Structure formats: structure tokens, C-alpha cells
Structure 1
Amino acid sequence: MTQHSTTAPTAALDDEQLIELETLRYSLIEAARDMHQSLMRSAFSPVVRDVMDCTAAIHMRTEHGWEMVASWEGCMQHAFTSQHICNFTMDEWQEELRDGDTILVNDPWRGAIHCADINLLRPVLVDGEAKFVLHSTSHVVDLGGSVPGGFANGVQTHFEEQLKFPPTLLYAADKPVKSVFNYLLENVRVPAAVLGDVRALYGCLVIGEQRIRALLDKYGADKVVAGGKYGMDMTERAMRAGIAELADGDYVAEDSLDDDGVEDEPIPLRATVKVRGDSIEVDYSGTGRQPLGNVGTAWIESTRCIEGIKFIVEPASPVNSGTLRPIEALLPPGSAVCVLPPSSCSNHMDVGGRIVNMVTQAVGEAAGAHSIGCDSGTASGLSIGGIDTRPGREGNPWATFIVPGGGWGGTWRSDGLSFCLLSIGNCRTPVQEHTERESPLVVWQHEIMPDSAGVGQYRGGFGGVYTVGTLSETVLTITGDRARRGASGTQGGGRGMPLYGWRLPSFDPAENLRPTDIRNAEPLFGTFNEEGIPDPGAGRFGHGATHRSAKLSQIVLKPGEAMRFVIGGGGGWGDPLRRDPAKVLADVRNGLHSPEFAAKGYGVVVDDGVLDESGTAELRRALAKQRDAGDWSPPDAAPVEWIR
């Protein structure tokens, strides 16, 4: 239900009241910031400490239920789902909670994203009544189940996934509930890392309570609550003002996932963004049925799609429940965006990333060409683990989570961002030195992939190439999509390069580190031509590869072997034949584009690092004429020449 502001407009406040409310809303944000920084400093696993797959938030009881009044930068998709987790949990527990109690929950049907993201909630009681709830959440490197790391590719029910906790008392009056800790730690592969992260999640809530108590002591509960409401209302007004600038209408976006890891069929996705005045409804009618595999989501797309709206209509205001108020979503039960139990939904990233792309494009159309090319559509998440056999570490179980990252799409005023993760996460790639110190892995290569960005007047961002080897026998799970076709462009822009994967059985770092070198490389998945060369425009998906999906589980990698993944770039924005030739030349000189691709995709002729202006003008005229005749269109991004 759409909610409306209750705080008086700022014009009705005197200067002293306004200063006090501003101080309080920023104090709540700073409390969330302190929580988040404490979590990252004290966490054990790289998925929290390095990747930043975590969030801290503060909720407050209002006439609308529990609303999120503050959050801090982290994995931002958590911030959009956070208040729903709080409402489910407090509906079950709020009458029984005491000071120091902390609840654990990771149930996707109670608002969590997937079971690998655990949530801790701690009430702050005022006169015996819960007024605030502090919330921390993070991905954990393992929580049991058939596949290490949380992305249970190939399974069809949540019974085959990781442990699932309904709201469960984890700390009672600040004392650990031993039975819950014992159950948790006895069922995970890496109990030391999980215990360290759980303690960090708990410790940051204790710090948050100290900050909230200090505010309550200084200002009193009524003023702190007023400051929280003021902050939410400010954000709501900013969102509504941005939405009101859009043209009323229905804007449709469609896309599809490659497959679900079980059936070899694309999964259609459809979103209709209905703009009416200062509010929006996102209707997912037309989305494909609930998949057999684990790629569906348990209704969280009702909130994560809001990221795609916020990008365009109001990117500056803090994220809180005011961000959500002007937007509603309709999700068909039993569809890919609202799977029903007992479906598996451990791989939330593919649907989530795609939905944000789709909604961004639809809202961009409403804003009048202010669309954004799609991002790489996959983080190519790698869940890796095993038993260490290095001297001095023999027999130690280990696990890690790696997200190499791709590129974002071009916009109406700039090129897309290169070498970064999906927009749904706002996360980071791991620190390579940490990965190698803490795991029997060697990161041989992590760099920009040339010729991977979608062409356009503003090109997409470049994707990445990631090559990793192992010093101990290792089990690897790959969670990827956009391996059939790369990220689509907008306003005439071209597609980014799709996802590719190879096994390198006899890896030699002295010989095999050229990104386009596919000698001694066994294709795992991708789109290849008859000669076995990556060819997203004319090739066939799976041709010559060992798999027909980029969602693979439990691949065994032996010492001396390596895996290489190319994560594609973002889609382009606008006509590539209108791109400034000087920008194309700069990309060629920087090694980001080859001269061959510059000519093929942009009609720009570069000879020995020098721009041929007359040759460029002639080639562009010829390509434009071919396009008018239907014989040329912006090519899919990919290197033209490969070493084989």
C-alpha cells in the first residue's frame, strides 16, 4: 500500500526545529555508518570484509509498521528488502523480546534475499517497548547444503539448499543461545569463518544500540522519532518530485535469462512500469513460470526494482523507507519473480540484475532518452572451497566467494563504468592478496577485457577477464548468465560481450595470460563459431563447449589447472557512428579497443596509432548507407582476432 508523509512540510518549521530535525536524521545515518564500518572491520570472511556484501540498517516503529529510517553504503539490495525482514520478524517476536535479545533469520519467504544472506535483528526498548530495531546482514561463505557457498545450481527445492532459519533467538539478553550456535556451526564446512562473521554481525548491533541510546538520552524518544520520520518524509518527497517529472504512461521492458541450470530453455522476464503522477506501479505480468532450477526469487523483486527507478529519478537522497513509499509492485505468484515453496531460490543475482536493467530502461524511456544501457547482467560469482593440502595447513577446510565483475551500460551523457560489479550490489571484487593468503588459490589474471564494451555514441563499460589456479584440489561452483547474448544497448547502441568460460588443464603463466589466447583452453560455455572462436554475433551457444549453461556446480580443479572467465561489458548508448573519433582513438591507444574492432564497430580508421580522418569519414558514410539498406547494425562486442 502506498504510504504518505505525516511530518509537517519544512516551510512550517522554524529554523531551530529544522536544524534539530536535520541533526537527528543525520545522526541516525551516522549510527548506521558506525554499525557498517564495525561489521567490515571485524568480519572474518572476504565476502564481508573485502566484497562488502553486507548492510547495516535502523528501523523504527511508526503508524505504518516497522520502517527503515537509516542505512549505510554496502550491498544496497539488502537496504531495499530490509524493512520487510524486520516486519516479519517483529510480527513473530516483538511481544517477547528483552534488552540484549538478538534474532537470526535467513528465510527468503520472510523477506531475506536467499539463505546465504543471514540477518540479525536487535530491538532497542524504551520503557519496556521496542521503539527501534537494529539490523545487520551479510552473505556468509557457507551455510551447509549440497553446494559450498550458497548458490546451489542444479537443485530444484530449498530442502537441497543451505540451512534455513525462521526468526530464531540467537542471543538472549546478550548471552549466546548455545543450542542454536551448536546447530549452526555443526552444519557448515568452515565454522571458524562463519562464527567470526556472526560475532561481527552481533557486535555491530551492540555499537548501534550505544549510538541510539546516546541520542535518546540527549534528545528524548519523541524527538528522535520525529527526526526519523522527517528523514523518511524528506526522501519520499524527493522521490515523488522526481517521478512527477516523468511522462505518464505504461513503459514495457522485456528480457530473458539464458536458462535455469536444469532445463535448456530461456526464462522470459517482463516488466511494465506504469507512471501516474508522482507514483509508479511495476507490473511483472507476462514473466515466465516458476523455473525448475534455482534462479527464481521469493518476491523480493517487489523492492529491488526500485533501484532502477532511483538511478534516474532521484539518485541523491539517502535510502530509507521513504524511497519505497511511492512505488508498488505486482508479482504473479508462481512466476520467476515470485516463486512459491518449496522452490529453490539460491541464485537471486541473475533475475535481480536483469530486473534492475529492465526497469532502468523503462524509466529511461519515460524520462525521454535518459535510458541506460544494460550492465553485464552477471557477476560470474565463483563459490570455491575444499581441503587445504599446503604444508602447514594440511586438512584445514576453506571456502571463499569471488565476484570478478563486468561493465555497466553507457548513459545519455557518459560512457559506462568499466570493471565493476552489478548495480544491484554496489559490492567490490576481492583483494587478490587476501584471496591468495587465505586460500590455496593463485589469481593469475584480473584485468580489463579488450573489445568487450558495447559500442555507442557513449560506449558501455569494459568487462573483465579473470584467471584463477589452485594449489590444492578445489571444488568450484559458477553462477553466470548472459552467456548466449551480451548486455543490450539502448538508443541504437550495441551489445556488450557475453560471458565465456574455459578450463586450462595445463596452465603455463608464461604462455597463457593473453586475454585472447585460447590455446590449451577447453571451452566450458559460451557462443562459438564453427572454428571454435568466440563469436556472439554469428556463433551458436554451447558449440564445442562441455556445458550448455553457465550455471555449473562442483567442478573439480586440480593443482596445475586453471579456469578463465570473461565477464562481458555493458551495452552502448546511441549511434556508434556518432561517437567522437578522438575517444575511439584514445581507447585504441590505451589497449581497450583493437584497430580492427574500432573500424568494425565505430567506422573509425586507426593506422599505427594515428587517426585517419578521411578514411574514417569514408568508412562511416559506407556503414551508414549499409545500415539504411538493412545490411549493417552495431556489432556485438568481442575481439576480432584470437590466438589459437
Structure 2
Amino acid sequence: MTTANETEVRDVSADFELDILRYGLIEVAREMNDSLMRSAFSPVCRDILDCTTGIHMRNGDAWETVAQWEGCMQHAFTSQHIVNFVMDEWDVDTLQPGDVILVNDPWRGTIHQSDVNLLRPVFVNDRVEFLLHSTSHLVDLGGPIAGGFANGVQTSFEEQLKFAPTLLYANDVPVRPLFNFILENNRVPSMVLGDLRALHGCLVVGERQLHAMIDRSGLDNVRSAGLYAIEETEASMRRGIAGIPDGDYRVEDFLDDDGVTDERVPVVVTLRVRGDSMEIDYSGTGRQPLGNVGTAWSEATRCIESVKLMIDPHTSVNSGTLRPVEVLLPPGSVVCVLPPSSCSNHTDIGSRTMNGVVRALGDAMEQRSIACDSGTSLVVSMGGIDTRRGHEGDPWGGFALAGGGWGGTWKSDGVSFCVPPQGNCRTSVQEHSEIESPLIVTQHEMMPDSAGAGRFRGGFGAVYTVTTQSETVVAITSDRVRAGAPGTAGGGRGMPVYGWYIRDFNPSMHHDPLNLAGAEPLFGVFDSNGVPDPERGDFCLGTRFTTAKISGLALKPGDALRLVIGGGGGWGDPLSRDIERVQSDVANQLYSEAFVRIAFGVVIDGGRLDVRATDDLRAELRAGRDDDGWTVPVAHPLTWSL
């Protein structure tokens, strides 16, 4: 006869084994990702981490994600749907060991055409039980510009090569016609070939590791562990949602423009919370744009990143993350464009939809709210023909993610100098960029006075200045030019984005970002004297471009491109910020004495804090606010020189 205690011990032992196995699955995904990064040729995958690996398990007629190891967070959330889109039209019974499917079609689940996805079946007892998935942004796949952010185009036909699910390897043998087609239609074939081989090789590593795990523990136990992982994550997500007050929470925002017209693109998010379930509704969001800023479908899962980060940041990402949330995407809108619209710039709308969910959740639970991040943080794509000695005639392509600021939170300042949480990637490794391409990154540092003011300030943005030794074609992708990242709970906006072109760059003359002598404004909000003024200036007044979504900018050797990325929004009343924190930021040259006086009411003169004058000024500003005479200023430097 079995006692109750013996049954309880056996149940605990079974759960313990399942827990070990579910982390074993994650470890397999990690091994895949490590292999991918170690063997990738391009800095996009190797350095920036624009890649992800995952394991998907067969469950009835569908596929569910049981383990991920993300470099780029958004891939981890879209991965499951990519697999199901592909397998809905691919007969799984025709697959053989060693086959690898390639797909990069946004209407079949991928984010944009630059992100290639490889799927490999794992057979157990002659049946496909798992699909292994690797994905990365490729430096080039043809199209009008290197890098794939084809700003200004209106259709997918003008973008990079687009592939429906296609066999890339058959029995681990490369399908030569497909490889030839890819390599003969891009600017950097050796780099692309290296990355494709790395994406394939990491799947081989994953299959070997997964088979070893199944051999040790048995297929039934591994499958049970996969389901256990999903159910544990789902339960944790539901507990988090249940802690949000029931209600409807609506937020409105906008994109600056679509890169073709100068019209703002409205973004509307309504969050509906009922019990332990949530609905994210984008009804009211702007129509399908002419330019390339829309997405085919990916906001159906990518926006759930915000929910995950705010209510359940500690459990693993898998299918259980998605189960409690339904997302409504109006067809023909910017979040669900219809073919053949262009989707190459998915980053601007992705950041804005995530910001919208964060703001709506903040309205629901202000005590745990987070201000907005600075958004896209400037994706810079560059390429050309190398003319350096020893490299003459070599085509090249590269990426730069300069990094912006995250928003302040209910308990801490925002993260500075960081790529937005949508991607969770890293900034470029400048030494690698300078070895592999004719670029010299002369400046990559935090931008003073860029973080939104608040009790907990936003993170600071960045200054990124780059020169070139060969003629270079540049594409710039950014938003948050008309207005910086909004604060929350009384916090101020972060600094918006700016760009300048500097001819005959001289580090001794042009290093100071506040010195505008010899700098031609490319985009931003300026006053009539050409000085940045986000509060009273005009959008793109006197600038070369009327958008920050630019393609085909020619950077001449010896000239420089300077980009200033804004900071995150502030959280809470800046007049209640601890004055010692303000003094520390000034001492570290993050804020100027002039800005903290008007934004925080803190009086610092020559590095010395005047406590009495600070108390008097804060009292004056509070009174002015009550009389509608003082508002939190937008973060920006006050002392520019021309």
C-alpha cells in the first residue's frame, strides 16, 4: 500500500526531474547560439547579437516553442509563429534527416526580409518530433542598399531577395542552385556564405545535443519536460496578469513619418485586462503607410515583450509566454500591412508598439510603471567598395547600433547607452568595424543632457561620429525626431534624435558635439539660427532631409557623419529627485549645471551644491507648476555654439 507521504515524495521527484530536463533543453539552445556566434562571419551576428536559436516540439498538428536562447529578443517572441507558418504549407512527411528549410518572407512569419530563418527536423524513431530553428539578420541580400533597411521604397519588390520556404540543405548537402542564387545577388558573398554555414552548423550541434539528451532520458520524459516548461511559464505569466487591475487602458502615440510622406503615422494601443488574460488591440492605428515602416504581422507577438518584461521578467521565453495574451491587428494598418507593402524598416513601429504597451501597463499599475525608451536608436547601414591599400576593389557592408536610453522606472534610473529592449542587442565592436571596413569611429560616448528628467531620470543617449576612408553609401533609420521619448508619472521627455554631416572632419576642431561649426544639419528640430531646440524649434527647419529615414547618403572620404541619439523618458516628479543624485550626475558630466537648474530645481555653481538656494528654487518651481507656469523641460543641452 502506498502512503500519502510516498506519493508526495514521488511527485516532487518527478517535478525535480522535469525541471532538470527543461533547463537541459535551454542548455541545448544555448549551445546552438554559442556555436552560431563563434562561427558567424558578420559583426551583425557575431558582435551585435542579432540572432536567436530555439527548439520547437510537435504537439498534435502544431508546433510549440519549448526552449530559446535569444541574442535578439524580438526573434524569441516571433519564432514559434514562423515555424507554424512554414509547416502549415510544408509536408512534414517529406522531410529527411539533414534537410534544412530557409525562409525570410514577412507574410510567412518572419520580421523582415533581412532576417533569414533556418529550420531543421529532428527525427526520433523515424518521426519528426522537434524542429530546430536558427535565425540572424544577414548583412546583405541584394536590394537597393546594403543592410536591408530600404528607406523610401514602397513595395517588397524593391527590397532584398524574398524566399518562401525553400530547401537550403538536402541531407546536409548544400542545394547549390539556391546558394549560387543568393551569393550572386548580394554585395558581400563571402560574409553571407560564412553566416549561412554558421546558421546551418549550429543546427547540427543542436541535433547532436538533443539526441544525446533523448538517449539519456527517453523521448517521453523530454517531451514531458517541454510541456512542463511551457505550462510553468504560462502559469507565471497568468499570475502576473492577474495582479493588474481589470480594465481598458488606451494609449496614443505616433511615428514621425513613413519615409515617403511627411504625415505622422498614428499608433493606438488599447490594453484590456480580464482576470489572468489580456488583449492588446491596435484598432485606431494608422493606415498602411506608403513607406517601409509597417510590419506584416510580427506585432502579434513582439508587443508581448513589454508584458513579459514588466510582469514576468524571470521565467524563460517559450510558448507559455504567448498563451495568456491575444493581439488584434487591423488588416491594412501599419501593424498589419498587406502585400506587397515594404516591411524593411520594422524597427520604428516595433519600438513604438512596445512603448505603447509599456505606457498602458503603467496607467494600470503606476506603482510599477516604466517610462519610454528612446526607440530605434538609429540603425545605421553602410557599404561600398573598399579602396584601402591591400583591400582595393573589395565590396563591404556593415552595421552600427549606436544605442540610446531606456526609460526611468518606479525604483531606479533608466539604463544608459543601450540598444532598446525590443532587440536587446549590443552596440557594434568598433575595433572590429575598423579592421573589417574602411570606417573610423571617432566618437561613441554618452550625450550630456539627453536623459528625461524625473525622480528617477531616463537613461542617457549617445553621440556616434564616424568617418570613412573610402566613399561610403549610408542608410539611416530612426524615429523620435519630432519629439523625444515621453516620461511617465510626471517625468520629462528625453532628447530627440539629431544628425549632422561634417566635411573635412578634424578631431581637434570637431570633437565637441555642442560645437556646430562646420556641421550641416541633416534632420532634427531646430530654431531659425540652426540651434537644436526641441521645445520651440521646427521639425527639420533648414535641414538637408525632412525625415530620419534616409537611403543613399554619400559619405566622402575624410568627411564625418555625427548622430545624436536621445535618452529615455523620466519617471516621477524631478523636483523630488535626491539632490545628491543630481550632484553626482553633474560631477560625472552627464547633466550640465544649467539644465539641472531648470529641470530639477537644483542649484550647482562651479561644482558646489547650494542647498538653501535649491530649496528656494524648488519651492518657486512647484508654485509655478500649480499656476500652470512651469512644466518639466524636454532634455537637451542649453549651450550650443555655432
TM bin (shorter chain): over 0.9
Q: Write the mapping of 1:448-467 to structure 2, written as runs, cut at 5 A.
A: 448-467=446-465
After superposition, give the CA deviation of every residue in 1:199-253 in whole Å (9 maximum; x if it has no partner): 0000000000001100111111111100000001000000001110110000111
Q: 1:152 aligns with which of 143, 150, 153?
A: 150
Contact persistence 1:245–1:367 (CA under 8 A): no
User: Does residue 327 of the first structure (1) align with residue 342 of the second (2)?
Assistant: no
Q: Which residue number in structure 2 is paired with residue 303 of structure 1?
A: 301
Q: 1:560 aligns to what?
A: 558
Q: CA deviation at 1:626?
A: 1.2
Shift of 1:11: 7.8
Show the counterpart of 1:5.
none
Of residues 508, 511, 520 in structure 2, which corresponds to 1:510?
508
Residue 222 of structure 1 aligns with which residue? 220
Give how far 1:364 is off.
Answer: 2.1
Question: Which of 337, 354, 357 does residue 355 from structure 2 map onto?
Answer: 357
On the 8 A contact 1:407/1:416 being kept in 2, the answer is: yes
Give the AA of the match of 1:358. G
Amino acid at match of 2:271: V
SS at match of 1:456: coil
Structure-2 separation of matches of 1:629 and 1:157: 51
Amino acid at match of 2:134: S
Shift of 1:73: 3.0
Cα distance in 1 for residues equivalent to 2:133 and 2:376: 27
- Is the counterpart of residue 76 in structure 1 residue 73 in structure 2? yes
**Residues of 2 paired with 1:303 and 1:167: CA distance?**
21
Could you tell me which amino acid in structure 1 is paired with residue 407 of structure 2?
A: G
Q: Output the amino acid matched with 1:452.
A: S
- Cα offset for 1:369? 3.3
Matches within 5 A, 1:402-441: 402-441=400-439
Q: Distance in 1 between matches of 2:95 and 2:202?
A: 19
CA distance in 2, matches of 1:368, 1:12: 42
Q: Find the counterpart in structure 2 of residue 204 from structure 1.
A: 202
Residue 536 (structure 1) shift: 0.4
- Distance change >3 Å, CA 245–CA 85, structure 1 → 2: same
Match of 2:50 in 1: 53
Q: 1:248 & 1:321 partners in 2: Cα distance?
A: 24
Distance in 1 between the 2:153 and 2:631 partners?
A: 40
Distance 1:394 1:437 in 2: 14
- The 5 Å alignment of 1:594-613 reads 594-613=592-611
Secondary structure of the residue that 1:405 maps to in structure 2?
coil
CA distance in 1, matches of 2:134, 2:71: 11
Residue matched to 2:530: 532
Contact kept? 1:260, 1:267, Cα under 8 Å: yes
Q: 1:128 aligns with which of 118, 126, 132?
A: 126
Amino acid at match of 2:422: I
Which consecutive residues of structure 2, in runs of 5 or more, have no partner in the other structure? 1-6
Structure-1 residue corresponding to 2:4: none
Question: What corresponds to 1:65 in structure 2?
Answer: 62
Shift in CA distance, 585/187, structure 1 to aligned 2, threshold 3 Å: same
Question: Of 604, 613, 616, which residue of structure 2 is paired with 1:615?
Answer: 613
Cα displacement (A) at 1:275: 0.3
Q: Give the CA deviation at 1:614.
A: 0.8
**Matched AA of 1:334:** G
Contact 1:603 1:616 (C-alpha < 8 Å) held by counterparts:
yes
Q: Name the counterpart of 1:105.
A: 103
1:126 deviation in Å? 1.5
The aligned residue for residue 40 of structure 2 is 43
Structure 2 Cα separation of the partners of residues 643 and 48 of structure 1: 39
Deviations, residues 416-462 of structure 1 (Å, cap 9, x unaligned): 00000011101000111000000000000000000000000000000
Residue 6 of structure 1: aligned partner = none
Counterpart of 1:631, as a letter, is G
Q: How much is the aligned-residue C-alpha RMSD, in angstroms?
A: 1.1
How much has 1:63 moved relative to structure 2? 3.3
Secondary structure class of the residue paired with 1:187: coil
Distance in structure 2 (CA, Å) of the matches to 1:121 and 1:432: 32
Cα distance change, pair 348–419 in 1 and its aligned pair in 2 (3 A): same
Q: Matched residue of 2:509: which SS?
A: coil
Q: Which amino acid letter does the alignment assign opposite residue 265 of structure 1?
A: E
Instruction: State the SS of the aligned residue for 1:442.
Output: strand
- More off after superposition, 198-207 vs 372-381: 372-381
Give runs of ≥4 in structure 1 deviating > 4 Å.
10-13
Deviates more, 1:588-597 or 1:510-519: 510-519
Give the whole-Å Cα distance in 2 for the aligned partners of 1:52 and 1:407.
19
Separation of aligned partners in 2, 1:38 and 1:318: 20
The sequence identity of aligned pairs, in percent, is: 61
Deviation for aligned residue 1:38: 0.5
Local SS of the residue matching 2:82:
helix
Structure 2 counterpart of 1:409, one-letter code: G
Residue 531 of structure 1, CA deviation? 1.4
Instruction: Report the 3-state secondary structure (helix = DSSP H, G, I; strand = E; otherwise coil) of the residue aligned with 2:249.
Output: strand
| Greater Cα shift, 127-136 or 26-35 | 127-136
Question: Residues of 2 paired with 1:333 and 1:90: CA distance?
Answer: 23
Quote the residue 2:286 is aligned against.
288
State the AA in 2 paired with 1:458.
F
Give 2:252's match in structure 1, choosing from 251, 254, 263.
254
Equivalent-residue separation in structure 2 for 1:220 and 1:90 (angstroms) = 25
Q: Give 1:482 deviation, angstroms.
A: 0.4
1:23-46: per-residue Cα shift (whole Å, max 9, x none)? 110000000000001100100000
Q: Tell me how far 1:377 sits from its aligned partner.
A: 1.1
- Cα displacement string for residues 379-436 of structure 1 (whole angstroms, at most 9, x for unaligned residues): 2001100000001110000000111010000000000000000111010001110000
Residue among 545, 548, 551 paired with 2:546: 548
Corresponding residue of 1:7: none
Q: Distance in 2 between matches of 1:335 and 1:301?
A: 11
Instruction: Tell me which of 268, 276, 279 is aligned to 1:278.
Output: 276
Deviation at 1:625, TM superposition (A): 1.3
For the 8 Å contact 2:486–2:493, the answer to whether it is kept is yes
Corresponding residue of 1:522? 520
CA distance, structure 1, for counterparts of residue 309 and residue 213 of structure 2: 32
* Equivalent position of 1:627 in the other structure: 625
For residues 455-481 of structure 1, the C-alpha deviation after alignment (integer angstroms, 9 at most, x for no partner) is 000000000000000000000000010
State how far apart, in whole Å, the 2-side matches of 1:441 and 1:13 are.
62
CA distance in 1, matches of 2:376, 2:175: 38
Q: Please show how residues 435-514 of structure 1 align to structure 2 within 5 Å.
A: 435-514=433-512
Q: CA deviation at 1:511?
A: 1.1
1:363 touches 1:371 (CA, 8 Å); kept in 2? yes
Residue 3 of structure 1 is matched in structure 2 by none
Shift of 1:146: 1.1
1:336 is paired with a residue of what secondary structure? Answer: coil
Between the aligned partners of 2:170 and 2:9, the Cα distance in structure 1 is 44
In the TM superposition, residue 198 of structure 1 has moved relative to its aligned partner by 0.4
SS in 2 for 1:565: strand
Q: Does residue 21 of structure 2 align to residue 24 of structure 1?
A: yes
Aligned equivalents of 2:8 and 2:175: distance in 1?
A: 50
The reply to whether residue 87 of structure 1 matches residue 65 of structure 2 is no
Once residues 63 and 276 of structure 1 are traced to their aligned partners in structure 2, the CA distance between those partners, rounded to angstroms, is 29
- Match of 1:621, SS state, is helix
TM-score (norm 2): 0.98
Structure 2 equivalent of residue 574 of structure 1: 572
Letter paired with 2:121: P
Name the SS of the counterpart of 1:510 in structure 2.
helix
Check whether the contact 1:462–1:568 (CA below 8 A) recurs between aligned residues.
Answer: yes
Distance in 2 between the 1:368 and 1:188 partners?
49
Matched, 1:371 2:362: no
The 8 Å contact of residues 366 and 489 in structure 2, kept in 1 or not, is answered as no
